[in-house]
Amino acid sequence: MAKAEYKGFWHKTLNQLRTELGEEEFSSWFTDIEYLRSGESSIIIGFPSGFHLERVKTRYQDTIMAKLQEFAGEKISLEYELITNKTNGNDVPEEDSPAVETMPARVPPTADSGESAGPTAEKPKKKQHPQIRDDYTFEKYIIGENNNFAANAAIAISRNPGTAYNPFLIYGGVGLGKTHLMQAIGNYVHENTENKVICITSEDFLNEYLEGLAQNKMNTFKNKFRYADVLLVDDIQFFQDKPGVQEELFHTFNALLNAKKQLVFTCDRPPSELKKFSERLISRFEQSLKVDLQPPRYEVRCAILKITAENRGASISDEVIDLISKNISSNIRDLISALNILISYTELMGQPVTLEIAQQKLRDVLTSTRQSNLSIEMIQKVVADTYSLSSNDLKGKKRTHNVVYPRQLAMYICREMTDYSTTEIGEAFGGRDHTTVLHSIEKIQGLLITDPTLDSTIESLKRSIKESSAKI
């Protein structure tokens, strides 16, 4: 069979994967893969990093090869190469993986020091850490009001791991830069010291724990993690309702802390909101230096988009940057995803993106983004209408009882009916912090015990919310 046909089989395979996996998962893993050439009964594809290569091989290799054979009628093997002269073009973070949030940026020195935040140019560069993305560095992290404290704490930790800020817990909603910040610590420590750095997702930690149990190799598992100098664990909320691995994490936590080794965790919510966790593990997380990442402000969103475009060598006008920044405020993942659509258009069509083209190409993206925020907005509207208020009253600063009670009720219902964290709910209610939301939830929970009519009121509100949502 002619080698030229192999490229067609590759693109057919990609199209089918896009349909089966969905746009978000497909974009996360396959947009950056390049068809390079064909060999004898093989296809050679290129990856921007070893991390990306290994994850795709682990998750999708068998599926890809099966589809290629289906289209070609013969077995076609896959060969892999790293594209070392090109940076990762797709900055959309991978869902539920060690490469979750992208925040291309520049980081200044710490507030109390004039030293450089990154490695010195004179030092020979080490081989890249196999578990950490090479583009997740402090130099590529934009600092704004939403993450200033978190970023400076992370820089301080990277310079003196295991000392002042240990353990360190970064939490916040999806796509806000938690994984980027955590891995930036790992990259800096790996590059500038001889410390042993382990970076792992909670899912992989669980899998290795189960493998150790099944193969009677728990000592190997324990030694791997308990002799680390820096342990980075992503998405600890994944350990909910898994008592066995929680027990093992607790002992690993204590062993490393007692040895003055650095622990860094990320989570999508504060420790107080973790359910089905052992109390003593929650207590350990509560003792951490906890920092929350908020959605970036308009100015920071613009800066992220401009720097990302510059890194890609793309020219995007200020009015298009403004369009994206004003319409997408939920998280950086959605922001970068929208920009990538426009950059891909300029690369494929060879022409600049006008405001009209941007509006057309991002129509579905902007619509879905608005809909993703709809549930909180709808809850606010229904509750406000019920109590003869406006949504702005619920978001505002009025503290009279006729406003505070409906506001607390709306926050409680948001937590009951949506998957938003208290941090995200607080942001939607006028930029309040998560402790205010927690207080409101606890207040309503207390009233439910003493007021027998409140339950029916809440259920009635929920029905109205569902009915209103169904009409959209």
469 — pLDDT class (breaks 50, 70, 90): low
> pLDDT (tens digit, 9 = 90+) per residue, 392-449?
999 998 889 999 999 999 999 998 888 788 888 998 999 998 889 999 999 999 998 8
pLDDT at position 98 is 32
**Best mean pLDDT range from 23-37, 164-178, 195-209, 358-372:** 195-209
> In this model, does residue 373 exceed pLDDT 50?
no
Fold of 4-82: GMP Synthetase; Chain A, domain 3 (3.30.300)
CATH node for 374-470: 1.10.1750.10
Confidence band, pLDDT 50/70/90 cuts, at residue 101: very low
* pLDDT band (50, 70, 90) for residue 470: low
Mean pLDDT of 63-72: 87
Q: pLDDT above 70 covers what percent of the chain?
A: 86
- pLDDT tens for 135-187 read 899 988 888 777 888 999 999 999 999 987 899 999 987 788 899 999 999 99
Fold matches, 138-293 and 302-372 = no
Question: With 50 as the cut, is the pLDDT of residue 90 above it?
Answer: no
pLDDT surpasses 60 at 244 = yes
pLDDT of residue 441: 93
Architecture of domain 302-372: Orthogonal Bundle (1.10)
CA nearest neighbour of 159 among 125, 120, 102, 122: 120
Which pLDDT band, with edges at 50, 70 and 90, does 230 fall under? Answer: very high
What is the arithmetic mean of pLDDT over 295-308? 86
Supply the pLDDT for residue 402: 92
pLDDT per position as a tens digit, 8-23 = 888 889 988 888 887 7
The answer on pLDDT for 88 being more than 80 is no
Residue 84: band (very low, low, confident or very high) from pLDDT cuts 50, 70, 90: low
Mean pLDDT of the chain: 83
Residue 412 has a pLDDT of 93
> Could you name the CATH architecture of 138-293?
3-Layer(aba) Sandwich (3.40)
**Rounded to a whole number, what is the largest CA-CA distance in the chain?**
77
Quote the pTM value: 0.55
Q: How confident is the model at residue 41 (pLDDT cuts 50, 70, 90)?
A: confident
Pick 364 or 107 by higher pLDDT.
364
The pLDDT tens digits for 216-229 are: 999 999 989 988 99
Secondary structure of the chain in HEC code, one letter for each residue: CCCHHHHHHHHHHHHHHHHHHCHHHHHHHHCCCEEEEEECCEEEEEECCHHHHHHHHHHHHHHHHHHHHHHHCCCCEEEEEECCCCCCCCCCCCCCCCCCCCCCCCCCCCCCCCCCCCCCCCCCCCCCCCCCCCCCCHHHCCCCCCCHHHHHHHHHHHHCCCCCCCCEEEEECCCCCHHHHHHHHHHHHHHHCCCCEEEEEHHHHHHHHHHHHHCCCHHHHHHHHHCCCEEEEECHHHHCCCHHHHHHHHHHHHHHHHCCCEEEEEECCCHHHCCCCCHHHHHHHHCCEEEEECCCCHHHHHHHHHHHHHHCCCCCCHHHHHHHHHHCCCCHHHHHHHHHHHHHHHHHHCCCCCHHHHHHHCHHHHHHHHHHCHHHHHHHHHHHHHCCCCHHHHHCCCCCHHHHHHHHHHHHHHHHHCCCCHHHHHHHCCCCCHHHHHHHHHHHHHHHHHCCCHHHHHHHHHHHHHHHHHCC
Q: What is the pLDDT of residue 252?
A: 93
- Of 98-112, 132-146, 159-173, 268-282, the one with minimum mean pLDDT is 98-112
Q: What is the mean pLDDT of residues 183-205?
A: 94
pLDDT the model gives residue 7: 86
**For the chain, how far is it from start to end, CA to CA, in angstroms?**
52
**Residue boundaries of the structural domains of the chain:** 4-82, 138-293, 302-372, 374-470
Average pLDDT of the residues in 205-210: 93
Q: pLDDT category, 247, cuts 50, 70, 90?
A: very high
Lowest mean pLDDT among 46-50, 214-218, 357-361: 46-50
pLDDT band at 124 (very low <50, low <70, confident <90, very high): low
Which CA distances in Å does 41 have to 6, 35, 45, 61, 68? Answer: 9, 15, 13, 16, 11
Q: What is the pLDDT averaged over residues 454-461?
A: 86
106 has a pLDDT exceeding 70: no
**Residue 471's CB: how many other CB atoms inside 10 A?**
6
Say if CB 266 and CB 230 are below 8 A apart. Answer: no
